Amino acid sequence: MANPRLRGFTWWRQKWGRKDWAILATGFTLLMLALLVTFDTWSQETDLGLNRIFNPDPALVDLTLLSHANEKGAVCLDGSSPGYHFQKGFGSGANNWLLHLEGGGWCDSVASCSLRKMTALGSSKYMDSQVPFTGILSNDPSQNPEFFNWNKVKLRYCDGASFSGNPESEFKNGTELFFRGQNIWNAIMGELLSMGLVHARQAILSGCSAGGLATLIHCDDFRELLPRDATVKCVADAGFFLDEKDISGNPTMQSFYHSVVNLQGVAKSLNKDCVSRMEPSQCFFPQQIVKNIKTPVFLVNPAYDFWQIQNVLVPDVADPHNDWLKCKLNIQNCNRRQIEVLQEFRSSMLKALDEFQQKKNWGMFINSCFAHCQTWMASTWHSPSSPRINNKTIAESVGDWYLNRKVVKEIDCEYPCNPTCFNMIFH
């Protein structure tokens, strides 16, 4: 006999029409944005609190707005100037640069982009004038042993398409939304080159979440901007989003990416060979992007990425009876069957990384934590409480890889094997 819950779900799918699904899809994207804004605020506040223990005086770095943004056609979703935070390097790091691309999801519709432009993820009008530089951005050698004295830049994210939207897709009917992600990337890179990036001896492009995806998209572009004899590598944190169906069998993430790419004209910023072979939104998935990257990449990703579990594997639309709600809020609340599904999701990630593992100069740190971004928080990057694999923190592993001290391709055992994990708990 059919499971009554599954039978009810099938009835629910059959009874809903296109209009209902469109409304639900819009609600899904708005919910994603709300979750991302909430997480961004929570993580900054939490990290600042923990950072007072591990680093009582984190550097607060001023926001700089891009000069002549309008002339360069490089503006946020609302038309305001994009921004970045710059901290000058010193000593042996004076000619070394680390750039970090902020994360914050994507918008795939006029409704979600219009909501986004009223937040710091779509407008510099709402950005904090100062932000703490912690984790991979810290200037404290005890917290950031390899890169503490480098020139460091945090690029604020205000376009909604991983720094890859193009103005050709903008509406001509008076809808005031600007899709200028690629222009923002080009313009800020130009400004940083004039500030000394052009003379870099060592450099890293990093990013978290949607910024981690942007890191993969722009990794080779970044390499091309710098001197040939410079050591240039990329570190993508929680940016390996899977092309997986959700628990109800629907390609939720695939459909979402399709809308983002079409709305914001992202195809123009993606690998030309990939776009010529398959539907452009497929080329927005990291599994396809990494096939064409030439620059060495290090991937930091939890095998139980809570954002992907909550939005890719078990979006609300796939769980109408909230059977997964407690599990999505706290992995310790997952029942046996749910843990089995999460282990299958982990297996899918490892399978997607097969090609990544074969690349000689590439590295990875795939831990078994219920986490998301881990490089820019002191508590997860390098501190007494940081997650470890083989007794190495993420910072130590990235340092070993970047400086060619050893091959680093760390894959953790299955949850709940790692007692050092910093597992998120939502309420």
Options 159, 305, 319, 412, the catalytic residue: 305
CA distance 104 to 111: 17
Options 85, 218, 372, 382, the catalytic residue: 372
pTM of the model as a whole: 0.89
- Residue 265 main-chain phi, psi, to 5 deg: 65, 40
Greater model confidence, 26 or 132 = 132
Rounded to an integer, the average pLDDT of 293-312 is 98
Tokens of 60: 């607060």
> Whose CA is closest to 33, among 311, 422, 415?
311
CA distance 284 to 279: 10
Rounded to an integer, the average pLDDT of 9-22 is 35
Check pLDDT > 80 for residue 6: no
Tell me if residue 199 is catalytic: no
- Return the pLDDT at 40: 43
β-pairing, 409-411 vs 130-133, is: unpaired
- Return the pLDDT at 43: 41
β-pairing, 231-237 vs 202-208, is: parallel
Question: What's the pLDDT tens digit per position in 105-145?
Answer: 999 999 999 999 999 999 999 999 999 999 999 999 999 99
**Angstrom distances, CA of residue 127 to CA of 6, 46, 99, 117, 274:** 44, 18, 18, 11, 35
Check pLDDT > 80 for residue 10: no
CA distance 419 to 405: 26
| DSSP states along 261-279 | HHHHTGGGGS-HHHHHHS-
Rounded to an integer, the average pLDDT of 317-326 is 97
Tell me if residue 400 is catalytic: no
- Return the pLDDT at 249: 98
- Return the pLDDT at 124: 98
- Return the pLDDT at 56: 56
Cβ atoms of 178 and 76 within 8 Å: the answer is yes
Cα-atom radius of gyration of the chain, to the nearest Å?
Answer: 21
Tell me if residue 229 is catalytic: no
Question: What's the pLDDT tens digit per position in 171-217?
Answer: 987 789 999 999 999 999 999 999 999 999 999 999 999 999 999 99
Please, what is the average pLDDT of the chain?
89
User: Which range among 173-177, 354-358, 370-374 has the greatest average pLDDT?
Assistant: 370-374
Rounded to an integer, the average pLDDT of 53-65 is 79
Confidence tier at 422 by pLDDT (50, 70, 90):
confident
- Return the pLDDT at 175: 84
- Return the pLDDT at 33: 52
Check pLDDT > 80 for residue 35: no
CATH of domain 12-411: 3.40.50.1820
Options 43, 80, 162, 209, the catalytic residue: 209
